[in-house]
Amino acid sequence: MRKIIKNAQIPFNGIMTKDNDVLIEDGIIKYVGQLKEKESKNNEIIDASNYYLIPGFIDCHGANGYDAYELKQMAIDYASRGVTGFYVTIGPESNQEYFRMFEECRKAFGSDYLGACFLGIHLEGPFLSLEKKGAMDEKKLRQVVTPEEVEELIDAGADVIKIITISPELEGAYEAINKFAEAGIVVSLGHSMATYKQAMRGIEEGATQVTHMYNAMRAYEHREPGIMGAAILSDDIYCELIMDCVHVSEEAMKILIKSKGTDKIMAVSDGDIKFGHDSSDRETEDYIIKDGAIYLKNGVLYGSTRDVADHFKTIIVKLGLGIPDAVKMTSTNCGTHMKIKKGKIEKGFDADFNFVDSSFKVRKTFISGQEIIL
């Protein structure tokens, strides 16, 4: 049976539009507008009055799990927060460990599963700068990018690797960026001390994204703007942004939005499933959690307990932007960048969306047109 969502307030062309009908069939949006009464008969009706209907959140730099069981649990956890699509993010590892994780992802998501849609893997490494390693294990980093390793990764994981973060200044990096891009893998520049010229060369070779803008990269200077300057001046570059107000201050977020616009910024969690979404201050054997941010015991930022659902509210409440811009940065931009039919409530797109109340909290989540009951 087809479904019709009635009385929907949805973002469209930068504004919120009211009294929309959204027709869903086989998990796909078939029509958005106003249906005649006779066209609504013999369909399941879902009333969206008193809610905003927005695309499901997409996290292109999220968490990781050790095996198929943890990965499936992660999909459920994501869906419970209104995240309907995600990229498993794996830090620096040996190629053999990468191959194992590729297989675990195939096991977890190769058949029907409950929760958010697995959209692929984001390899955050292993070709990252030692100087800007952040919380990465430096023993697993590689400072030379060899053609053989690049070919191994592509041959073993072309079906699951969708994004890879690389430091463009490393030996062999330019050639690798070109190879990954040719293989259809999005290349993101990050964890890097690259100069502006080195970053621009990486972009020329095929990089289209920057990993967690501001964090783990050369600081912007008026004589050497580095990756940040290259990202701002390159109109086609998308920027990840951890919008928890700890990794990046409100003021810095506003500066990036003013200089880059809202069409090329992607809010990301950079989270870790084992910490959940409890933002209360606490300490474990190896980590300190304060104000929602996760730190190593040496004070280095490790990640965040706040996710894209939290960032959606932050964009509206703290940064003062409207729902349409918040939707762009938490869903639409990632979908557009990754060339997937997600992130918009428009004809032909996947029926992944959230019902959000007036306090910007997710109340219902639908994936492929089915309400997720967890």
Find out whether 170 is annotated in a ligand binding site. no
Domain ranges of the chain: 59-343
Per-residue pLDDT of the chain (374 residues; tens, 9 = 90+): 799 999 999 999 899 999 999 999 999 999 999 988 777 788 999 999 999 999 999 999 988 888 999 999 999 999 999 999 999 999 999 999 999 999 999 999 999 999 999 999 999 999 999 999 998 999 999 999 999 999 999 999 999 999 999 999 999 999 999 999 999 999 999 999 999 999 999 999 999 999 999 999 999 999 999 999 999 999 999 999 999 999 999 999 999 999 999 999 999 999 877 777 777 888 888 888 888 888 888 888 888 889 999 999 999 999 999 999 999 999 999 999 999 999 999 999 999 999 999 999 999 999 999 999 86
Span between the terminal Cα atoms of the chain, in Å:
23
Radius of gyration of the chain (CA): 20
Find out whether 337 is annotated in a ligand binding site. no
Q: Are 118 and 105 in contact (CB under 8 A)?
A: yes
What's residue 374's pLDDT?
66
Find out whether 230 is annotated in a ligand binding site. no
Find out whether 212 is annotated in a ligand binding site. yes
291 is catalytic: no
Residue 111: CA atoms inside 13 Å, Cβ hemisphere, count? Answer: 2
Find out whether 116 is annotated in a ligand binding site. no
**What pTM, to 2 d.p., does this model score?**
0.95
Q: How far apart are the C-alpha atoms of 354 and 331, rounded to whole Å?
A: 11
Q: What six digits make up the tokens of 148?
A: 């053989």
Q: What six digits make up the tokens of 304?
A: 């965040």
Whether domain 59-343 has CATH 3.20.20.140: the reply is yes
Q: How far apart are the C-alpha atoms of 198 and 216, rounded to whole Å?
A: 16
Strand pairing report for 186-189 and 287-290: unpaired
102: nearest Cα among 130, 80, 71: 71
3 state SS of 302: strand
Out of 270, 272, 307, 310, the active site residue is 270
